[in-house]
Amino acid sequence: MNVFDADAVWAASQGEGVTVAVVDTGVDSSHPDLSGQVLKGKDFTGDGNAQEDLVGHGTRMASIIAAHGHGEGNKSGMMGLAPKAKILPLRVIRKRDDKNQDETWAAAVHYAVDQGAKVINLSFGDEYSQTGVTGREAIAYAEMHDVVVVAGTGNNGGDVGYPAALPGVVAVGAVDKEANLWENSNTGKQVALTAPGVDILAANKTRSQGYGIASGTSDSTAYVSAAAALVRAKYPDLTAGQVINRLIKSATFANHKGLKAPDEQYGYGIVRPYSALTMNIPAGPKGNPLGQLDASGSTSTDGSKGTGASAQAEKKSSSSGAALIVVGGVVAVVIIGAIAFVVMRNRRNGGNGGPGSGGGISPQGSGYPNAQQPYPNAAPNQGYPAAPGQFPQQPNPYTQQPPRQGQ
């Protein structure tokens, strides 16, 4: 199993100077692994505090992207893939049963662009209707202002949901530890990349120990957003389209031989951050290789390699609201698929990392798009029964110190 050397990745880039907007349930800035990483942000639900997260989902995404550990030498807790990126929390859902209306998240996308975010993470989607005009205009606005927009394909095993299916959006599916497509990951010609999304550990202060485990394309989306932040930090002169080009040109099909990119399941392959940072890839055209919406969001143009507009684009428009796209997990995973992403900071001071059992809703019940229950309440004694300031000592099924990623 090929995995990347996190230290080698961070020697090349840690996402410094890049702001990633997390359009979600807010981000808990008090979590020790995120202290100092979370900007003020803005609440779009009318409650007023984007640094409050009653659900845990937004905090989870933020930690996958930019957690830095805590304690002496930051050796406790978890590390995100881009630990020096800043998180701009934009709360569009307050409670777990709230609907995420197009008008609400579209306003957040506009705000993110105006605040200088270089990457926008959209770990939500609608699998049953097309994004309405307001949402399409917001995505077009971001694309025209040189922002990388990343969204999850969806979790019901069907067609790629919206806004991921829109031209120019990096639509991300989920793979498991064997680099195989997760059974619930949505597929279609709009899939751009895949990333780890099964049994992922992340920060979540709604759980008793401050961490939780889940599976879904929400998590894989956050990994790709972090990878985009790494590339934007190292190559600040590249356009958003050129950043996307590096991500798709450096991706791998791993053990899946004979696939032709873009594949309807894996897109251009599994994202490889180290390769995206170090491979000799010409900058190429400035435009987005995945296509782009026009200023009104009503039509699209294809990029040089673009997947183009979705065949679903003729579906009836709807602003009924997109759901968070996460399904519950069952066991701890630190290193997933062909790449190691979340690194437990006690790997050098005797800890094995990884929890025992996990919580989450059953794989059969994604709560998407109506129930909208990305994380249920943790059952007693679920999570991580570790001593304060230490990460749990249960056996970890994946190596703590991955070797350097191969080509």
Instruction: Give the 3-state secondary structure of residue 326.
Output: coil
How confident is the model at residue 313, as a pLDDT?
36
**What average pLDDT score do residues 123-137 get?**
93
Q: Cα–Cα distance between 193 and 195 in angstroms, integer? A: 7
Give the Cα separation of 62 and 15 in Å (integer): 13
Decide if 191 contacts 160 (C-beta within 8 A). Answer: yes
Tokens of 19: 């702001």
Q: How much is the pLDDT for 214?
A: 92
Decide if pLDDT at 300 tops 60: no
User: What pLDDT, in 10s, does the model give residues 313-347?
Assistant: 333 333 346 776 643 332 222 323 223 344 444 43
Asked if residue 403 has pLDDT above 80, the reply is: no
Question: In this structure, what is the dihedral angle of CA atoms 146, 150, 153, 154, given to the nearest 10 degrees?
Answer: -130
Which of 71, 66, 125 shows the shortest CA–CA distance to 99? 125
pLDDT tens digits, one per residue of 36-68:
999 999 999 998 999 999 999 999 999 999 999
Q: 26 pLDDT exceeds 90?
A: yes
Quote the pLDDT of residue 297.
73
Query: Rounded to an integer, what distance in angstroms lies between the CA atom of residue 349 and that of residue 246?
Result: 35
Q: What is the pLDDT of residues 270-292, one digit of tens each?
A: 999 999 999 999 999 999 999 99
**What pLDDT score does 351 carry?**
34
- Residue entry with tokens 């699998």: 127
Q: Cα separation of 42 and 87, whole Å?
A: 12
Residue 232 predicted with pLDDT over 70 = yes
Q: What is the mean pLDDT of residues 238-257?
A: 96
More confident residue, 170 or 347: 170
Q: What is the dihedral of CA 396, 216, 362, 96, to 10 degrees?
A: 120
| Structure confidence at residue 363 (pLDDT) | 23
Per-residue pLDDT tens for 174-196? 999 999 999 999 999 999 999 99
The backbone torsions φ and ψ at residue 38, rounded to the nearest 5 degrees and listed phi first, read -105, 120
> For residue 128, what pLDDT is reported?
87
Mean pLDDT across the stretch 230-241?
98
Ramachandran quadrant class, 291 (left: phi over 0; alpha: psi -120 to 50; beta: rest)? left
pLDDT over 50 at 361, yes or no = no
| CA-wise closest residue to 324 among 376, 367, 378 | 367
Q: How confident is the model at residue 301 (pLDDT cuts 50, 70, 90)?
A: low
Mean pLDDT of 225-247: 98
Q: Is 15 or 6 the better-scoring residue by pLDDT?
A: 15
Do the Cβ atoms of 358 and 88 come closer than 8 Å? no
Which residues face 126 on adjacent strands? 162
Q: Is the pLDDT of residue 162 over 50?
A: yes
Tokens of 155: 């979790």
Task: Judge residue 295's burial from the number of C-beta atoms within 10 Å of its C-beta, 0-12 exposed, 13-18 middle, 19 or more buried.
Answer: exposed
* 219 close to 196: Cβ distance less than 8 angstroms: yes
- What DSSP assignment string belongs to 356-397? SB-----TT---TTTT--SSPPPPTT-S--PPTTS---S--S
Q: Give pLDDT, residue 293.
A: 95
Backbone torsions φ then ψ of 43, nearest 5 degrees: -95, 130
Query: What is the residue whose two structure tokens read 């969001």?
Result: 297
Q: How far apart are CA 402 and CA 102, in angstroms?
A: 40
**pLDDT(311) > 90:** no
Q: Which two tokens stand for residue 12?
A: 């090349």
Would you say the C-alpha torsion 370, 375, 377, 379 has a positive or negative sign?
A: positive
Contact between residue 160 and residue 265 where contact means Cβ atoms under 8 Å apart: no
Average pLDDT of the chain?
78
Per-residue pLDDT tens digits for 364-395? 222 222 222 232 222 222 222 222 333 322 21
Question: Which residue numbers are catalytic?
Answer: 24, 57, 218
Residue 92: pLDDT over 50: yes
The predicted pLDDT at position 198 comes to 94
Single out the residue of 205, 199, 222, 220 nearest to residue 377, CA to CA.
205
The pLDDT value recorded for residue 2 is 40
Domain boundaries along the sequence of the chain = 6-323
Give, in words, the CATH class of 6-323: alpha beta
What amino acid is encoded at 3 in this protein?
A: V
Cβ-Cβ contacts under 8 Å for 178 (sequence gap 6 or more): 1, 255, 337
**249 vs 363, residue with greater confidence:** 249
Measured CA to CA, the distance from residue 244 to residue 84 in angstroms comes to 20
Give the rounded percent of residues in the chain with a pLDDT score beyond 70: 72
